[in-house]
């Protein structure tokens, strides 16, 4: 039997299997977070400038070009990008889909945070991490609330 804490007793311990599933979800989100951030940034650069280059990824991510190179190889191995040395980086169809999904989640979280009164600076900072750690159910609820808020403005 699965034991989950009730809203009347939020200090109760979760059952070990439920607790483990929650941590497993968080670990999986951490694994994909950086990949999604890179793919989303690559898409943004391609859309804004017509190309994405390692030097600009390095500047915008605040990491070395060597770090970007390692990540690009990882993205290539996952079938998300194609690249050649000293050339632009291109998204595959799978990479573009991931970028669009990540961007959509990001925009939803950002709009939700604004709707509940979070300052612009904090909303932008928080949305950068939250988008990777919430379920589709939660994102849908955030979207509904943000849309409702926009309709009343």
The pTM assigned to this predicted structure is: 0.76
Confidence of residue 153 (pLDDT cuts 50, 70, 90): low
pLDDT of residue 51: 93
Predicted confidence at residue 132, as pLDDT, reads: 85
Token pair in block for residue 61: 């991510």
pLDDT at 3: 47
C-alpha to C-alpha distances, 151 to 111, 123, 145, nearest whole angstrom: 12, 20, 10
The whole-number pLDDT of residue 107 equals 95
Contact 52, 60 (CB under 8 A): no
Residue 91 has pLDDT above 80, yes or no: yes
- Mean per-residue pLDDT, 100-104: 94
Q: Where exactly are the structural domains of the chain?
A: 16-152
User: Which long-range contacts link 107-112 to residues 24+ away (Cβ below 8 Å)?
Assistant: 108/139, 108/142, 108/143, 108/146, 109/134, 109/139, 109/142, 111/142, 111/143, 111/146, 111/150, 112/142, 112/143, 112/145, 112/146
Confidence of residue 39 (pLDDT cuts 50, 70, 90): very high
Query: Is residue 125's pLDDT more than 50?
Result: yes
**What pLDDT is stored for residue 23 in this prediction?**
62
Cα–Cα distances (Å) from 102 to 17, 37, 80, 153, in that order, read 29, 8, 13, 26
Quick one: pLDDT at residue 122? 96
CATH of 16-152, one of 1.10.10.10, 3.40.50.150, 1.20.140.10, 3.30.70.20: 1.10.10.10
């Amino acid at each position: 039997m699965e034991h989950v804490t009730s809203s009347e007793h939020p200090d109760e311990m979760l059952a070990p299997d439920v607790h483990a599933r929650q941590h497993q979800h968080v670990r999986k989100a951490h694994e994909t977070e950086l990949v999604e951030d890179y793919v989303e940034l690559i898409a943004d650069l391609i859309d804004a400038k017509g190309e994405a280059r390692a030097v600009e990824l390095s500047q915008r991510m605040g990491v070395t070009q060597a770090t970007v190179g390692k990540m690009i190889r990882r993205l290539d191995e996952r079938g998300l990008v194609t690249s050649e040395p000293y050339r632009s980086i291109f998204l595959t169809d799978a990479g573009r889909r991931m970028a669009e999904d990540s961007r959509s989640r990001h925009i939803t979280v950002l709009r939700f945070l604004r709707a509940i009164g979070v300052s612009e600076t904090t909303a932008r900072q928080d949305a950068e991490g939250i988008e990777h750690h919430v379920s589709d159910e939660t994102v849908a609820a955030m979207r509904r609330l943000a849309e409702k808020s926009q309709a009343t403005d």
